[in-house]
Amino acid sequence: MVQLNSKDTDIFRVLSSGATSYLDIVLILEKVYKYTIIKEKGEIGDRSSEAGEMEKHRPGRKRFAGTNEKQITSKGLKNRLSELKREGYIVSDIYPRSDGPGVFALYALTPLSMAELINQGYDNNWIRSNLPKLNFIAHDKIVTETVRAIKREAGRTGYDFGIVDENRLREMYIKGNRSKALYPDLFVRITLHAGSEQITKRLNIEIDNNTLRPEAIADKVKKLDHKTIILCTNMQRIESLRRTFTAVLNQEERDRIFRYKHGKSRGKGVEKKDLPLEKKVMFALANDFHNNGLLRTNFISVDNDPVCIIEPEFKKKIAISLKA
């Protein structure tokens, strides 16, 4: 049985935001966790001579170990991923490339590695663990980058957060016979502190990469609880969705007037009021969100007006820096 070490934990943390390719694992280990990845002969940025010297002076050590805790050879990393998969700590699958011939692998956590992270203090609500289906690879990648953006921002600004993705939401409610209900791609809770005051926001995040009809997205958002952020890949798509939501709002207003004129809304007492659709949805570019997070992204409403996630009065009190 494989003996886990700090490098394995860091790999699990990389995968905790969602399915990740080998190249992205390397990139995040280098950029976020400050690893040195020693390239093999023939790879871009090859430093195999260093690796050879390392092995020569450290006989009997696995190449995964490196000369220190933050140094790995690329071959050692690949071998370690294979070992972790064989022992049930991670899963992977092969997918065809969308930009040309060939294939690539995605890696994800399993309950075993999730439990390892939780045992070390990692919050259960920071973890995603599923491999995407073939038709949802592009969509899942945006979801994963969105989770990472929130984690980066939380680490920088110090707010508390929880994230639950669509798969987890379905698992949570399936016992209540709600398996066919509509769920957002992500449900996010953030709590910010300003001295003795605090504010908590609960938001849905829906990823749109032009695969659904705008009418279907509007219908879904209407049925969701809480405010919903729709992240799009381009401004043209945002404009298309805004037009659709405006049409839906206009139709709802006509229906309301019709019901009033025909007495269908009179004499029935006070009905439960849902959040008006025009205040329930906001739009932003996915890349903007990935670069800036929840607090610094420029959101717009259906009417193309600026929208603030946190009220300006409270934001002024927050004893954190919202700068990059």
| Predicted confidence (pLDDT) per residue in 104-123, tens digit | 999 999 999 999 999 999 98
Domain boundary among 114, 131, 148: 131
For residue 178, what pLDDT is reported? Answer: 52
pLDDT at 210 over 80: yes
Residue 33 belongs to domain spanning? 1-131
Token duo for residue 130: 């599923």
Q: Which CATH number does the domain housing residue 122 bear?
A: 1.10.10
In the chain, what is the straight-line distance between the N-terminal and C-terminal CA atoms, in Å?
A: 43
Per-residue pLDDT of 268-316, as tens digits, reads 443 444 567 778 899 999 999 999 999 989 999 999 999 988 887 777 7
For residues 279 and 233, membership in a common domain is answered with yes
For residues 113 and 143, membership in a common domain is answered with no
CA separation, residue 184 to residues 42, 90, 135, 221, 258 (Å): 44, 26, 18, 8, 32
Cα separation, 205 vs 187, in Å, equals 6
HEC sequence for 172-219: HHHHHCCCCCCCCCEEEEEEEEECCEEEEEEEEEEEECCCCCHHHHHH
Could you give the number of structural domains in the chain?
2
CB 117 within 8 Å of CB 9: yes
Domain boundary among 104, 131, 158: 131
For residues 168 and 199, membership in a common domain is answered with yes
For residues 174 and 259, membership in a common domain is answered with yes
For residues 292 and 172, membership in a common domain is answered with yes
For residues 118 and 182, membership in a common domain is answered with no
CA dihedral sign, ordered 5, 9, 10, 11: positive
Cα separation, 70 vs 64, in Å, equals 10
For residues 49 and 151, membership in a common domain is answered with no
Q: Name the amino acid, one letter, at 115.
A: A
For residues 297 and 190, membership in a common domain is answered with yes
